[in-house]
Amino acid sequence: MKPNLRKYAAGLLRPAFLKGRLGALVGKTVEEWGLRLAYAGKVSRWLQENPLEPQFDSRYELYSHVIDSADLRGPITYLEFGVATGRSIAWWVDNNAHKDSALYGFDCFTGLPEEWYWHPKGTFDQGGATPDIDDKRVTWVKGYFQNTLQSFIRSHDLDRRLVVHLDADLFTSTHFVLGSLAPYLKPNDIIIFDEFTRLTDATHEFRAFHDFVTAYGMQFSVLGASGGYVQVAMRVDATACA
């Protein structure tokens, strides 16, 4: 566009831009589909560059592979974001027997703070009750991540091998956790996504991961996946742009 024409078009658009008319014109549905379309392109390119291999039939087979291939039988600090009834953290309690491991389950235990697809706000509500797991190595961190994680970080040592399990489903929750943990992630730490992407929508966990990597310049490699592209395990390779 020629500079004069651009100036003229900007003059026409600016009032609509500043007074919310552009927002009203575009509308939330178009915004949502635009976002979906944008991340469909990004996830498709990312998957081409990062093949999700090897593949497993269940997430528990994937976890076993991660334990073997990343040598996770020693002491680990396991941080799970999104616990609900405790099915996934129970697996890790049973399968990392090291007495010095510490496992932390973060959840409000009142369900999803926002709607997620057809699941309304409050889905997975446990009435505030924590899972019945009898192991001294496990600690529940109850509340919204946005209210608990920063003070947890200030009062805990995160120097040990970290396994971060992200199962909060939502973009907002996942993005907050990744950004908060960014300064503490180190090479060989593990990140597992439980709902990395869907065929029709990559605007939750994948979007959180993509935006996080873009902002922090970290490098990861894929350790494996299950359900095609649903659960994905990654290893931190480098913590800043090479």
Ligand X SMILES: C[S@@+](CC[C@H](N)C(=O)[O-])C[C@H]1O[C@@H](n2cnc3c(N)ncnc32)[C@H](O)[C@@H]1O
Total chain residues near ligand X (CB under 6 A): 20
> In whole angstroms, how close is the CB of 131 to ligand X at the nearest point?
9
Question: Which region holds residue 20: left if phi is over 0, alpha if psi is between -120 and 50, else beta?
Answer: left
Beta bridge partners of 81: 106, 166
Cβ partners under 8 Å of residue 63, min gap 6: 91, 92, 95, 192, 233
Binds ligand X by CB under 6 A, chosen from 70, 83, 138, 181: 83
Binds ligand X by CB under 6 A, chosen from 43, 164, 168, 218: 168
88 makes contact with ligand X (CB under 6 A): yes
| Alpha carbons 121 and 17: distance in angstroms, whole number | 31
> In whole angstroms, how close is the CB of 181 to ligand X at the nearest point?
14
Per CB under 6 A, which of residues 102..161 are in contact with ligand X? 107-108, 111-113, 124, 144-146
177, amino acid identity: V
Burial of 239 (0-12, 13-18, 19+ CB in 10 A): middle
> In whole angstroms, how close is the CB of 121 to ligand X at the nearest point?
10
Binds ligand X by CB under 6 A, chosen from 167, 191, 205, 218: 167
> In whole angstroms, how close is the CB of 25 to ligand X at the nearest point?
32
84 makes contact with ligand X (CB under 6 A): yes
Binds ligand X by CB under 6 A, chosen from 96, 173, 203, 226: 173
Query: Judged by CB, which is closer to ligand X: 20, or 127?
Result: 127
The residue to which tokens 């549905």 are assigned: 29
> In whole angstroms, how close is the CB of 43 to ligand X at the nearest point?
20
Question: Which region holds residue 188: left if phi is over 0, alpha if psi is between -120 and 50, else beta?
Answer: left
Angle between helices 171-181 and 205-216 (to 10 degrees): 30
| Alpha carbons 35 and 159: distance in angstroms, whole number | 37
Residue of closest CB approach to ligand X: 82
Q: Applying CB under 6 A, which part among 20-28, 40-48, 153-161, 166-174 lies near ligand X?
A: 166-174
Return the DSSP state at 199.
S
